[in-house]
């Protein structure tokens, strides 16, 4: 199936982060490409949402709703919490 | 709002031969900004669940939110939403979601919106937000569909200023030029020049083709925000 | 508990006769574990078969010296995904049980990490089960149960213990980990025996 993008991670990640996590800036372990999670290339699998780095296609993270979050390819994650 | 809550369908309306808009009343909905989406979860009698994300066409604090869905022939959820759902039905929703593919009315930058098919939904929300806020920011929409009857919110968009339709298969009578895909030339003639923000939404293939074109004509990739709907 | 959605039945699942009821096809290989992935090196690996009359045990090298088979089979997970035509290499349990005498009719599978699941002995013999150490031509990945796991494809896949450490015969069909938590004691996918 065609890849989606990281916008679709907003719901599944909401079980693991306070606020919207798709604006969090992730650095890929594989190639050090740094971009908001919203820009990741995402495939939906029976194991959950698999987010790939747009630079090298390596897996950045896998999230299965409230069940599991695996930051397998995240070298760094920068989250800014906006002031209300 | 991170948990699932139950909304009630209050209205369904045919928009295109394969699409409809749906109004859902969600108690406790605290409103959404333009471009946000919600997740919708369906549960079959045997417990099987499927969930999908849908962009919200409405903006503001109203508990009645509007979605629009196009039916993918091999889809699992969209045929149900387009063919089966009726007023009174209950749907589980989670949202509003998303903080990246959004437009806030206090943003003064020029905005170009480019949508394909049902990808126009979050862009319509942005236009409605722009109008409600009486924003001075330049905002234009380029809307690509197969034929005139495939346009979502056709009446609303025909009345709006700064909307250019691109027909890829069948154009209306008297249309200048042949139907065809959105080209560099159309962008040059009808879209805002590089320098502002561009939002592109629609099927994955459409989004990637348009994003590539934009970069080729000089847009900074960082100024182009995309939302892919899957499909082709 | 979520509400049921009136009129929604999900993907057409009866199109493929190879799919048991309530299952849908997946092209990938989801990883669903009850706990963390144990780290077992083949140098430390030991497999032990225990009956009421005694024990038989193999080191990795001893195990690799046993006759192996290529197995192509369908697997069905209780969470509704099925994967057709998966290919494995392993040692048949007929080889493992070869020459063993037992009056027990049931077996408890034991994994590194503590997981257990119970099966009738008859469901592990006569070409129905293997200890597999290769998947798709490659050494079995730890997250999929490597270095070696049981595969009992005719039952739901929770009955195929990953990180297999041993089998113990028993006179009664005592419930293992998931069976104690509401899952069916036998687990036939064709009868949709998912839960009690």
Residues of B whose CB is below 8 A from C5: 42-44, 80, 89-92
CA of A48, closest CA in chain C: separation in Å? 8
Residue A9 has which token pair? 């991670």
Instruction: Collapse the DSSP code of A10 into the 3-class scheme (helix H, G, I; strand E, B; otherwise coil) and give the result.
Output: helix
* H-helix or E-strand spanning residue A11: helix A10-14
Residues of B whose CB is below 8 A from C10: 42, 44, 48, 50, 76
Residue C114 has which token pair? 């503590």
pLDDT of residue C80: 74
pLDDT of residue C164: 97
Can you tell me the distance from the alpha carbon of C166 to that of C168, in angstroms, rounded to the nearest whole number? Answer: 7
pLDDT of residue C122: 97
* A 41-80 near B (Cβ less than 8 A): none
Residues of A whose CB is below 8 A from C32: 47
Contact predicate C108/C159, CB 8 Å: no
Instruction: Collapse the DSSP code of C123 into the 3-class scheme (helix H, G, I; strand E, B; otherwise coil) and give the result.
Output: helix
CA of B99, closest CA in chain A: separation in Å? 6
- Record: contact A20-B97, CB cut-off 8 A: yes
- Mean pLDDT on C182-195: 89
pLDDT of residue C127: 96
* C 78-107 near B (Cβ less than 8 A): 80
Asked if the model's pLDDT at residue C12 lies above 70, the reply is: no
Nearest residue of B to residue C6, measured between CA atoms: B89
This model's pTM is above 0.80:
no
* H-helix or E-strand spanning residue C25: strand C24-25
Task: Please report the DSSP string for chain B in residue order.
Answer: --S-EEEEEEEEEEEETTEEEEEEE-TT---B-BT-EEEEEEE-TTS-EEEEEEEB---BS-SEEEEEEE--TT-SSHHIIIII--TT-EEEEEEEE-SSS-B-TT--S-EEEEEEGGGHHHHHHHHHHHHHTT--S-EEEEEEESSGGG-TTHHHHHHSSSEEEEESS-PPTT-SS------HHHHHHHSPPTTSEEEEEESHHHHHHHHHHHHHTT--GGGEEEEE----
Q: Is the alpha carbon torsion for B208, B210, B211, B215 positive or negative?
A: positive
Asked if the model's pLDDT at residue C10 lies above 80, the reply is: no
Asked if the model's pLDDT at residue C153 lies above 90, the reply is: yes
Nearest-by-Cβ selection for C3 from B50, B84, B90: B90
pLDDT in tens, A35-49: 999 999 998 876 688
Q: Is the alpha carbon torsion for B31, B156, A5, C81 positive or negative?
A: positive
Can you tell me the distance from the alpha carbon of B231 to that of B52, in angstroms, rounded to the nearest whole number? Answer: 13
Can you tell me the distance from the alpha carbon of C49 to that of C35, in angstroms, rounded to the nearest whole number? Answer: 24
Residue B56 has which token pair? 């919200």
Task: Please report the DSSP string for A63-81 in residue order.
Answer: EETTTEEE-TTEEEEE---
pLDDT of residue C18: 85
Taking chain B (232 residues) in runs of 10, the rounded mean pLDDT of each run is 86 97 95 96 84 95 95 88 96 96 96 97 98 97 96 97 93 84 89 95 95 94 94 63
- Mean pLDDT on C122-132: 97
Q: Please, which chains are in contact with B (at least 3 CB pairs closer than 8 A)?
A: A, C
pLDDT bracket for residue C13 (50, 70, 90): low
- Mean pLDDT on C154-175: 96
- Mean pLDDT on C174-178: 91
What ipTM does the predicted assembly reach?
0.91
Please give the DSSP secondary-structure letter assigned to residue C183.
B
Contact predicate C5/B43, CB 8 Å: yes
Alpha-carbon distances, residue C58 vs B17, C45, C64, C124, C152 (angstroms): 66, 9, 9, 18, 20
Can you tell me the distance from the alpha carbon of A25 to that of A34, in angstroms, rounded to the nearest whole number? Answer: 7
Max mean pLDDT among A63-72, B86-95, C11-20 falls in B86-95
Q: What is the dihedral of CA B74, B78, B84, B85, to 10 degrees?
A: 170
pLDDT bracket for residue C196 (50, 70, 90): low
- Mean pLDDT on A25-31: 93
C4 touches chain B (CB under 8 A): yes
Instruction: Collapse the DSSP code of A37 into the 3-class scheme (helix H, G, I; strand E, B; otherwise coil) and give the result.
Output: helix
């Amino acid at each position: 199936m065609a890849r989606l993008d990281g916008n679709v991670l907003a719901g599944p990640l909401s079980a693991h982060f306070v606020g919207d996590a798709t604006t969090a800036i992730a650095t890929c372990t594989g190639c050090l490409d740094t971009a908001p999670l919203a820009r990741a290339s995402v495939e939906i699998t029976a194991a959950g949402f698999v987010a790939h780095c747009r630079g090298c296609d390596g897996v950045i993270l896998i999230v299965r709703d409230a069940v599991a979050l695996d930051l397998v390819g995240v070298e760094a994650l920068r989250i800014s919490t906006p002031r209300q | 709002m991170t948990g699932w809550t139950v909304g009630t369908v209050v209205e369904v309306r045919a928009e295109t031969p394969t699409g409809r808009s749906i109004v859902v009343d969600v108690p406790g909905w605290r409103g959404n900004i333009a471009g946000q989406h919600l997740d919708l979860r369906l549960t079959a009698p045997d417990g099987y669940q499927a969930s999908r994300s849908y962009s919200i066409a409405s903006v503001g604090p109203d508990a009645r939110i509007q979605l629009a869905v196009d039916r993918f022939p091999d889809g699992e959820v969209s045929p149900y939403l387009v063919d089966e759902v009726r007023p009174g039905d209950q749907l589980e929703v989670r949202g509003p979601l998303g903080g990246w593919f959004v437009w806030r009315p206090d943003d003064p930058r020029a905005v170009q919106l480019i949508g394909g098919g049902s990808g126009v939904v979050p862009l319509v929300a942005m236009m409605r937000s722009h109008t409600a806020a009486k924003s001075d920011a330049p905002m234009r929409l380029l809307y690509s569909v197969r034929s005139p009857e495939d346009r979502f919110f056709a009446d609303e968009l025909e009345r709006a200023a700064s909307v250019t339709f691109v027909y890829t298969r069948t154009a209306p009578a008297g249309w200048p030029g042949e139907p065809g895909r959105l080209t560099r030339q159309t962008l040059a003639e009808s879209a805002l020049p590089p320098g502002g923000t561009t939002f592109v939404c629609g099927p994955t293939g459409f989004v990637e083709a348009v994003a590539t074109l934009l970069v080729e004509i000089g847009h900074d990739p960082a100024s182009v925000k995309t939302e892919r709907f899957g499909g082709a | 508990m979520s509400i049921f959605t009136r009129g929604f039945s999900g993907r057409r699942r009866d199109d493929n006769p190879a799919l048991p009821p309530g299952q849908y096809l997946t092209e990938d290989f989801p990883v669903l574990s009850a706990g963390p992935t144990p780290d077992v090196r083949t140098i430390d690996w030991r497999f032990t078969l225990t009956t009421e009359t005694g024990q038989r045990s193999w080191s990795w090298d001893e195990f690799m010296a046993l006759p192996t088979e290529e197995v192509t089979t369908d697997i069905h997970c209780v969470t509704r995904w099925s994967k057709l035509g998966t290919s494995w290499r392993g040692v048949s349990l007929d080889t493992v049980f070869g020459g063993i005498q037992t009056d027990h009719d049931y077996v408890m599978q034991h994994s590194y990490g503590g997981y257990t699941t119970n099966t009738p002995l008859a469901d592990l013999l006569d070409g129905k089960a293997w200890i597999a150490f290769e998947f798709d031509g490659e050494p079995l990945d730890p997250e999929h149960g490597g270095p070696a796991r049981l595969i009992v494809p005719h039952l739901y896949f929770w009955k195929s213990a990953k990180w297999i450490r041993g089998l113990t015969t028993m006179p009664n069909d005592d419930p293992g980990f998931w069976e104690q938590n509401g899952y069916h004691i036998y687990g036939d996918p064709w009868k949709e025996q998912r839960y009690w």
